[in-house]
A and B are shown apart, each in its own frame.
Chain A
Amino acid sequence: MKKALFLMFTAGIGLTACGEYSQVANYKPGSYQGKSDTRPWEGGKFAGDKAAWEAALASRNQNQNEYKKAN
């Protein structure tokens, strides 16, 4: 009886490493951990005026089209 218990116990200990575990890493997408950034129109030149900032950028965007300038 004692011998059987001893064998079961040692087998239980000895074979614990023989289990089949998934070895595929489960990646989880991280999220930004740093400090928050101010939006471009906040503070500085535009002082929160988003419409004015968008208008300024739209104008600059169109300035890249030289067909509108020359022809």
Chain B
Amino acid sequence: MARMKFLCDAERCIECNGCVTACKNEHELPWGVNRRRVVTINDGVPGEKSISVSCMHCSDAPCMAVCPTDCFYKTEEGVVLHNKDACIGCGYCFFACPFGAPQFPNGPAAFGARGKMDKCTFCSGGPEENGSKEEFEKYGRNRISEGKLPACAEMCATKALLAGDAPVISDIFRDRALRRGKAGDAAWGWTTAYGKPEQGAPAPAAKEGAK
């Protein structure tokens, strides 16, 4: 098993926030905690681009480097997880993370007002028995131990968000990029979704004009 990674195809993401909703529902996340969110560049401008962002499970994770209680660890699959029993909610990981992945819930907090840090687990749970009640309450559902991929990627309607073995999803993305053979706004849209006009046939715009 290689390293687990997320890959978001900005040409396909339609900012539906299905991934965000799937994540919140799957892990029953409290108000204010968003392990995943959709970021849109040039929102409202034709040609806007959206990308779904969460913990990217960095190979050399800055959150692991700065944590004063060393509560982070990396699984054999390359997923960055943390132990909430050791987290003191200091927020260093939040400042270190380039993606804003660490989340701090409101409400009763052991240290200051931040509480225990919460972040995307790649649906891998945490350091508790797989599938146990404790694991679900602290870290959310462990889909990986059920042989499933993260809920966000599996729920993605346009399959913009891919998750899984890095070489496999890279191949899927590469194959897709080669097939569409275009870039920018032409890469994914009406003509790609409904096929190319047949040779010799008038273009759809010309047909409408003739009516």
Instruction: List residues 25-58 of chain A with CB under 8 A from any CB of chain B.
Output: 29-46, 52-54, 56-58
Given contacts A53-B147, A57-B164, contact A36 B127 (CB under 8 A): yes
Give the docked Cα–Cα distance between A31 and B72 (Å).
9
A62 proximal to B (CB < 8 A): yes
CA distance A33 to B172 in the complex (A): 38
B153 at the interface (CB under 8 A from A): yes
Residues of B with C-beta under 8 A to A21: none
Tell me the bound Cα distance from A38 to B131 in angstroms. Answer: 10
Contacts of A65 in B (CB 8 A): 172, 175-176
Q: How many residues of A contact B (CB 8 A)?
A: 31
A54 to B2, CA, bound (A): 10
Is A44's CB under 8 angstroms from B164's CB? no
B148 contacts A60, C-beta separation under 8 Å: yes
With A61-B169, A64-B159, A67-B179 as given contacts, are A45 and B145 in contact (CB-CB < 8 Å)?
A: yes
Cα–Cα, bound, A67→B144 (Å)? 24
Task: Decide if B72 touches A44 in the complex (CB within 8 Å).
Answer: no
B164 lies within 8 A of A64 (CB): yes
Chain B, residue nearest A29 (CB): B65
Contact at A67–B175, with CB atoms within 8 Å?
yes
User: Which of B81, B85, B86, B172 has the most A CB atoms < 10 Å from its CB?
Assistant: B172
Q: Does A20 count as interface, using CB distance less than 8 angstroms?
A: no
Contacts of A52 in B (CB 8 A): 147
Q: How far is the CB of A60 from chain B (nearest CB, A)?
A: 5
CB distance from A41 to the nearest CB of B (A): 7
A64 touches B147 (CB 8 A): no
Among A44, A46, A60, the residue within 8 A (CB) of B149 is A60
CB<8 Å pairs between A and B, sample of 28? A30-B67, A31-B70, A32-B83, A33-B69, A34-B73, A34-B85, A37-B75, A37-B125, A38-B130, A38-B145, A39-B75, A40-B142, A44-B131, A44-B142, A44-B145, A45-B147, A46-B145, A46-B147, A52-B147, A53-B145, A54-B1, A56-B147, A57-B1, A60-B147, A61-B169, A64-B164, A66-B159, A67-B179
Additional pairs, 18, CB under 8 Å, beyond known A53-B147, A57-B165: A30-B70, A34-B71, A37-B73, A37-B127, A37-B128, A40-B77, A40-B144, A40-B145, A45-B145, A52-B147, A54-B1, A56-B147, A57-B147, A64-B149, A64-B169, A65-B172, A65-B175, A67-B176
